[in-house]
Amino acid sequence: MTLTDRLTRATAGRSAPLAVVDLDTFDANAADLLRRAAGSPVRLAAKSVRVPALMDRALEAGFTGVMAFSLAEALWLVGRGTRDVLVGYPTVDDAALARWAADPVARREITLMVDDAAQVALVRRALAVHDDGTHPPSGGPGARQVPDAAVCLDVDCSLRLGVGSWRAHLGTRRSPLRTPEQVVRLAEEVERTPGLRVRGLMFYEAQVAGMPDASPAVRAVKRLSVPDVERRRRDILAALRTAVGRDVELVNAGGTGSLESSAAGTGVTEVTAGSGLFVPGTFDRYRSFEPRPAAFFGLDVVRRPADGWATAFGGGYVASGAAGPSRLPRVVTPGWSLTRREGAGEVQTPLRLRRSGRELRVGDRVWFRHAKAGELMERFAEVHLVRGDEIVETVPTYRGAGQTFG
């Protein structure tokens, strides 16, 4: 039985559009991510899953801690029992910061991300409003005993090349922190703030972890980036140790596409992964691991405009990032593809039979994969967990639990 036949049989009688995760493949992917990390703790990237039951499943399989993509999300996760949540991005959400400052459990379990003194000032203000100035650095007599809040500094890991007047920035534009001096300056600002401490550093080498091995040029960038990040991470850790008088306890790196090189890096205490649990379309051309897709969505055919053509209901689930074909869903049903003129549509998605395959009829189910992992789950309130050709459980996504975080 083919994959699409199995998914169709499992979801017979269920209304489409619908989302499905194959549990056997999900579990195999979780085990493979842990294997690739070679003993380094693997933090779960929540934004790449966005299904609480599947996040719990990954943690039970051996993932350690969660990386949230917003403070509001982190607060919700801690409220439902999740521990050790690293917020992967800075926040300027005053309401969320106020809730965080007022909750001792949240202050203990959530590590905030910063890369700018302006962000530290917002955190300082939230603490001052709640603590009313009674949390001096020494925690002297009469001070209310609230836990020091942990902060992580996001360090730029892009590759910068130059010859003469020519300069190239290869990688994402994330953090303004790049040199040891810049990192130390912000770390000292954090350490001077009553109630705050530097817990760690994040080094996300997006040009290694987040780019498929699609060309010799990309592979060359990766080969140059790994030793460059290694050198700068070593220098930054040494400078920070001298400045604050201790080693930081958390040094986070990597993603699904770079687990091996990131885990082997000097000073790295953990790596992060999430997309590798679902293996969306953008991960098809990686050489560092065997892609095993686990997440799918199904649409039903509602029209047959002509022989070799079919129109499915829904499907306009285009991923974030630079607009282009790489952000469109991939058709899994054999022989069928999106059309170049229309792509995936909000209400209807036209399909064309490109090679040998059977004609689709009105009422047939067509299967797709989303281009980027957890973003698919923002489109659905629930996801069906399949084993073999049966649904074993239907669970809510973030949206189904009444939560959206941006």
Average pLDDT over residues 69-75: 98
96 and 102 Cβ atoms separated by less than 8 Å: no
Counting the structural domains of the chain, the total is 2
Percent of the chain past pLDDT 70, that is, above it, reads 89
pLDDT beyond 70 at 187: yes
Query: Measured between alpha carbons, how far is residue 58 from residues 258, 288, 391, 397, 402 in Å?
Result: 19, 21, 19, 15, 22
At which of 233, 248, 278 does a domain end? 278
Backbone angles phi, psi at 120, to 5 degrees: -60, -40
pLDDT beyond 80 at 163: no
Q: What is the pLDDT of residue 175?
A: 87
Which residues are 395's β-sheet partners? 383
Q: At what angle do helices 52-61 and 23-36 cross, to 10 degrees?
A: 50
Same domain for 191 and 336, yes or no, is no
Same domain for 308 and 193, yes or no, is no
Same domain for 305 and 233, yes or no, is no
Q: What is the pLDDT of residue 169?
A: 67
Reported as a pLDDT band with limits 50, 70 and 90, residue 82 is very high
Residue 59 lies in a domain: no
pLDDT beyond 50 at 139: no
pLDDT beyond 60 at 307: yes
Round to whole Å and give the CA distance between 307 and 178. Answer: 57
**What would you measure as the largest C-alpha separation in the chain, in angstroms?**
82
Same domain for 106 and 224, yes or no, is yes
At which of 244, 278, 312 does a domain end? 278
pLDDT beyond 50 at 142: no
Q: What is the pLDDT of residue 213?
A: 63
pLDDT beyond 70 at 207: no
Same domain for 111 and 205, yes or no, is yes
Same domain for 205 and 85, yes or no, is yes
Which residues are 390's β-sheet partners? 387
229: domain CATH number is 3.20.20.10
| Element containing residue 337 per DSSP (H, E) | strand 336-338
Q: Collapsing DSSP states into helix, strand and coil, what is residue 336? A: strand
Strands 348-353 and 336-338 turn out to be antiparallel
More confident: 20 or 224: 20
Residue 396 lies in a domain: yes
Residue 25 lies in a domain: no
Peptide bond into 17 cis (omega under 30): yes
Same domain for 242 and 138, yes or no, is yes
Q: What is the pLDDT of residue 217?
A: 65
More confident: 392 or 221: 392
265 and 219 Cβ atoms separated by less than 8 Å: no
Reported as a pLDDT band with limits 50, 70 and 90, residue 290 is confident
Q: What is the pLDDT of residue 390?
A: 97
Percent of the chain past pLDDT 90, that is, above it, reads 76
Round to whole Å and give the CA distance between 41 and 271. Answer: 6
Same domain for 240 and 309, yes or no, is no
In tens, the pLDDT along 43-66 reads: 999 999 999 999 999 999 999 999
Q: What is the sign, positive or negative, of the torsion defined by CA atoms of 63, 69, 71, 76?
A: negative
* Enclosing domain of residue 309: 295-401
At which of 278, 306, 324 does a domain end? 278
Residue 60 lies in a domain: no
Q: What is the pLDDT of residue 225?
A: 76
Closest CA to 89 of 175, 208, 187: 175
Same domain for 108 and 180, yes or no, is yes
Residue 28 lies in a domain: no
Same domain for 260 and 203, yes or no, is yes
> CA angle, corner 209, sides to 67 and 292, nearest 5?
90
Residue 17 lies in a domain: no
Round to whole Å and give the CA distance between 293 and 320. Answer: 19
Average pLDDT over residues 82-100: 97
pLDDT beyond 50 at 138: no
Same domain for 100 and 158, yes or no, is yes
Residue 383 lies in a domain: yes
Strands 149-155 and 110-114 turn out to be parallel
Residue 78 lies in a domain: yes
Which residues are 253's β-sheet partners? 203, 271
Round to whole Å and give the CA distance between 345 and 241. Answer: 53
349: domain CATH number is 2.40.37.20
Same domain for 385 and 255, yes or no, is no
Q: What is the pLDDT of residue 51?
A: 98
In tens, the pLDDT along 317-350 reads: 999 988 899 999 999 999 999 999 999 999 999 9
More confident: 287 or 242: 242
Backbone angles phi, psi at 200, to 5 degrees: -170, -170
Reported as a pLDDT band with limits 50, 70 and 90, residue 143 is very low
